[in-house]
Structure 1
Amino acid sequence: MPFILPLFVKAFLTLFVVIDPVGLVPLYLALVHDRSEEEQSQIAIRAVVVSAVILLAFGLTGAYVLHNLGISLQAFQMAAGVLLFKIALDMIFVHQERETQAEAEEAESRRDVSVFPLAIPLIAGPGSLASILVLSRESTNYYLGLSVVLAAAAIVILLCYLFLLLSRPMAKVLGQIGINVVTRVLGVLLAALAVQYIVDGLLTLLQLPPAEAFALLP
């Protein structure tokens, strides 16, 4: 089908920007710098497996949950746009702390950091969850669209794993300045995408008759 490739490319680029595997490198190094190479590898594996399960579960059940909560796709899409824009601003200004100070201190004191904060919220965070649900709805066949989006998510998760394994040599090659530059560029792209989400949601509501538009609102 002709829409599969464009949707796959859009889903891959969106999730790559939102999850930002490059930006994970300094965070990962800060959390595991005192661990052995074997332990670092185990942490990376657990982090990507847990995040993949979370993304898959939300992709399969997210629409059902929204329906039962009375939240329309357009409202969710605009909320996702606002959320992604906030993440983009953090990336542009190289704001690397994606959790509260208390959570960060708790993560440093824990022996296992693979689930928190690596899997949640650094990989399977609000932005990636929202993106999967919104992107899967862009196809007329929801389940086919969801399959395409999840396939793109799987590749991004695999890239995250590779980036985590190669974090030490990458940090030496890029340096902190190089990592900041890449993160800022991705942040600008994500900001534009976030605005597009909001605009698309508003246009959909404006094109509907008033009664139908208000019916779509939660």
Structure 2
Amino acid sequence: MHLNLKEIFTAFMVLFAVIDIIGSIPIIIDLRKKVGHIQSEKASIIAGVILIVFLFLGKSILNLIGIDVNSFAVAGSFILFFIALEMILGITLYKQEEHTSVTASVFPLAFPLIAGPGSLTTLLSLRAEFRTENIIVAVILNVIIIFIVLKTSSRIERFIGQNGINIIRKVFGVVLLAIAVKLFAHNIKALFELT
């Protein structure tokens, strides 16, 4: 075990920015209104497990089904793009499914909102640069923050207010759109270089 605080902090900040749990507060609040209750512990643990499993098996799984990391990232950029459009324009592009508190904890909360294509491809990028144990610590720290935000989202909503939530939603929608465009541009370029 070679824990390195600089690596842990860098990996933590990169994952925190990509997961963007603060920007997801409006989505969490909407989901809580639809289902009444979100199982915060379950959502956090499932998201953490998905992230750690993908850290170890991600590249192998993608290779097994014949998909390279760049193609996976391009597909992920489309999902992020449409979620960002929903946030900015206040429209619904995805078919509303009837969620129970259990299914809402897994989908869309744990996956793809927390452990989504952006965070999964980021993990693969981090693995090329940092030691695995440092990335695992960074993932665990992010899961703790995710749990705190999920548990206190109704208090955060009361503190910020509906107008504040709407402003945050639009601002983070633009940020998410920028991340989607960057993810798409970087990986489509890499795909063309491979051919």
1:201 aligns with 2:187: yes
Gaps of 5+ in 1: 34-39
Residue matched to 1:169: 155
Residue matched to 1:154: 140
Q: Would the alpha carbon gap of residues 99 and 82 (structure 1) be closer, same or farther in structure 2, given more than 3 Å must change? A: closer
Letter in 2 for 1:125: P
Q: Would the alpha carbon gap of residues 196 and 126 (structure 1) be closer, same or farther in structure 2, given more than 3 Å must change? A: same
Residue identity over aligned pairs, in percent, reads 23
1:186 aligns with 2:172: yes
TM-score by length of 2: 0.78
Paired residues, number: 191
The answer to whether the 8 A contact 2:84-2:177 is kept is yes
* Match for residue 53 of structure 2 among 57, 60, 65: 57
- Give the Cα–Cα distance (whole angstroms) in 2 for the partners of residues 86 and 131 of structure 1: 13
Letter in 2 for 1:84: L
* Match for residue 14 of structure 2 among 7, 10, 13: 10
The 5-angstrom pairing of residues 72-151 of structure 1 reads 72-95=68-91, 100-101=95-96, 103-104=97-98, 107=99, 110=100, 113-114=101-102, 116-125=103-112, 128-139=115-126, 141=128, 144=131, 147-151=133-137
- Give the Cα–Cα distance (whole angstroms) in 2 for the partners of residues 91 and 174 of structure 1: 17
- Give the Cα–Cα distance (whole angstroms) in 2 for the partners of residues 18 and 131 of structure 1: 16
Gaps of 5+ in 2: none
The answer to whether the 8 A contact 1:80-1:131 is kept is yes
Letter in 1 for 2:69: L
Structure of higher CA gyration radius: 1
